[in-house]
Structure 1
Amino acid sequence: MQINEKAPASLDALSLGALSPELAPYQQEPPQMASAAVGKNGYLRLKFIHKGNKSVLYEMERKVPLLVQKALYWDEEMPFLPCVPIISTSGCILQGDRLAITLDVAEGACAHVTTQSATKIHSMDNNYAAQTQLIRVAKDAYLEYMPDPMIPHRNSRFINETVIECAEGATVVYCEILMSGRKYHHQDELFGFDVYSSRITVKNQSGGTLFTEKLVLKPKESPLDVVGVMGKFDVYGNVIVIADKACQDEILAQSPSYYSEELCHGVSRLPNECGLIFKALSCDSPKVKQCIREFWQVVRKVTTGYSLPTPFLWKT
């Protein structure tokens, strides 16, 4: 796949929230520091290529508050896999932040991208935070994007736009885990955020849209802890897998649905035979992380032939 140097016009973190009706009530500028000011208009661009007997982080551009130091090779099952944690120099996402992330994985390369820890969306009294993510995976390339959970604090507003562009033979494992807030900090933190908006779009190498999913959560207007939405659960996990049809069939055959009073999860096909989507619900984030890890293990084994390494103790 030819990697275009410019992101699609719709992926503009500066205008994303301004054009979104769910954020219309939150357009006022923060009196402390203007939105997208220095230190609040960050970007991160990473490009991975295959070089020698491994893949490497070939190009990196960064601007605070987003930071990457270097690629590490901590995966003992895939020692050729560069593992990159994204770091926030501000410690959390703040009101007025405008963030843009671009990940390019060149033909035949592979990469694992995660975060340093859970991403906290701090409480806000003005404006909102916006983020765009452009993920481009070339022919026969492999990417695991496995960030730690997102934790929206009380009165926070956040919008995210993700576009995944996949070429023929590419495999992408894209994960997101959304917490209900800092529920052990204060009772009003449970579903106490104002807006959480997230759209994920998968495109083919010609730019055609294969799949789009958008969530707009406003728990103060439309409660989430009701039947048909989250029910009694308050942790949501979502994994999108883009892979060829034969791999999809095998993954689906090895991933039965499950339901109990503590955890439920299931997997289904995406439109246009582009991949699979796995969803999980629980009141316990370690249970969601564990069932996602089990699904991820199946995906990696089927698509690459390799297993997952032993998890780090601090990642459970």
Structure 2
Amino acid sequence: MTAPLDLRGETAAGRHRRAELTFALGGGRSALVRQVTPYPFHVTKPFALDRARPDLATLYLQSASGGVYRADRLDLSLTVKAGAAAHVTSQAATVVHDTGALPARQSLTIDVHADAFAAVTLDPLVLFPGAELTTTTHIRLGEGALALVADGVAWHDFSGAGRPFGRLTAETLVSGPAGGVLLRDRSTVRGAELCGERSLLGPGAGAYGAALLLGPMEAMPRPEALDAALDALGVRSGASPLPNGAGLGLRMIAANGGRITLAVEAVFALAVEAMLGFAPARRRK
């Protein structure tokens, strides 16, 4: 039996939507040459915010639906062609609502072609009580490519009763120019393990984040510089080399999602300065 449709054509089983963004270099600028953004995805026009690198395009990714709902399957594909430079960031945090017995799924695929630069810096997911989400990220690097992928997770019970979210499962895969696996990271955590005084993250923790800075080590910021910048924001962090010479990995713990947002902005600034050789302008939201 076919599930009933609502007025927007959605089914009771949730939405399956796939967005595609492709950037290519032309005329000294990185242009958005392909855009497929069905509801609930929405994007602004690309901005050239940095005088030092007018070829670096910044695109704000938005949601028109108020968050992620039960049984949603939302896929995003980002391709940055050879020599281009693109930064995709979210406009604000994304709420994941109670999914009941129908968990939601999100996937992100990033293809960074030869000598290209891609940064994806996302404001935290905010998991409401009962939210259950699976995320997958696959990053494919071409020869000489550089990439930064950073995001975070926070949780909130709007009733004030301290109810936990359900479960968050995440998997990240990074492939090199020859197609071999450089790293694979998997994790599963239940809200009950993070909420309250017995949180796995320690007392006072209300959010966490992670960043992958991908490329040769000589193009990476110093781990101690990352730690110092985040410590100044009240964020506990640790950076270490990734396996197979893939770059640097960074983990962050903070009191709330706002601190993680500031931390991701700081990581972006340090990564761009190390990878591209200039201090980027602030991405205002």
TM exceeds 0.5? yes
Q: What is the one-letter code of the residue matched to 1:187?
A: G
Q: Deviations over 1:120-168 (max 9, x none)?
A: 1012233011111110001110011011111011101111111000012
TM-score of the superposition, structure 1-length normalised? 0.79
Separation of aligned partners in 1, 2:272 and 2:151: 17
Show structure 1 runs of 5+ residues with no match. 1-28
Change (3 A) 1:295 1:64: closer
* Structure 2 equivalent of residue 278 of structure 1: 250
Q: What is the one-letter code of the residue matched to 1:255?
A: L
Separation of aligned partners in 2, 1:298 and 1:261: 14
Separation of aligned partners in 2, 1:92 and 1:67: 13
More strand by share: 2
Separation of aligned partners in 1, 2:264 and 2:44: 27
TM-score of the superposition, structure 2-length normalised? 0.87
Q: Deviations over 1:3-52 (max 9, x none)?
A: xxxxxxxxxxxxxxxxxxxxxxxxxx99994324xxx1111101100001
Q: What is the one-letter code of the residue matched to 1:92?
A: G
Q: 1:105 aligns with which of 77, 80, 93?
A: 80
Separation of aligned partners in 2, 1:143 and 1:82: 10
Q: Secondary structure at the match of 1:266?
A: strand
Contact kept in structure 2, 1:44 and 1:61, CA below 8 Å: yes
* Structure 2 equivalent of residue 230 of structure 1: 201
Map 1:211-222 onto structure 2 (within 5 A).
Answer: 211-220=183-192, 222=193
Change (3 A) 1:105 1:256: same
Contact kept in structure 1, 2:272 and 2:280, CA below 8 Å: yes
* Structure 2 equivalent of residue 68 of structure 1: 43
Shift of 1:262: 4.8
Q: Give the aligned CA root-mean-square deviation in angstroms.
A: 2.6
Separation of aligned partners in 1, 2:267 and 2:141: 21
Q: What is the one-letter code of the residue matched to 1:188?
A: A
User: Is structure 2 residue 167 aligned with structure 1 residue 167?
Assistant: no
Q: Deviations over 1:39-69 (max 9, x none)?
A: x111110110000111100111222222234
Shift of 1:297: 1.9
User: Is structure 2 residue 109 aligned with structure 1 residue 134?
Assistant: yes
Separation of aligned partners in 2, 1:155 and 1:120: 12
Q: 2:276 aligns with which of 288, 292, 304?
A: 304
Of all paired residues, the percent bearing the same amino acid is 22
Map 1:113-152 onto structure 2 (within 5 A).
Answer: 113-152=88-127
Shift of 1:288: 2.9
Q: What is the one-letter code of the residue matched to 1:67?
A: H
Q: Deviations over 1:274-294 (max 9, x none)?
A: 011111111133333333333
* Structure 1 equivalent of residue 160 of structure 2: 187
Separation of aligned partners in 1, 2:240 and 2:276: 21
Separation of aligned partners in 2, 1:269 and 1:228: 27
Separation of aligned partners in 2, 1:177 and 1:73: 26
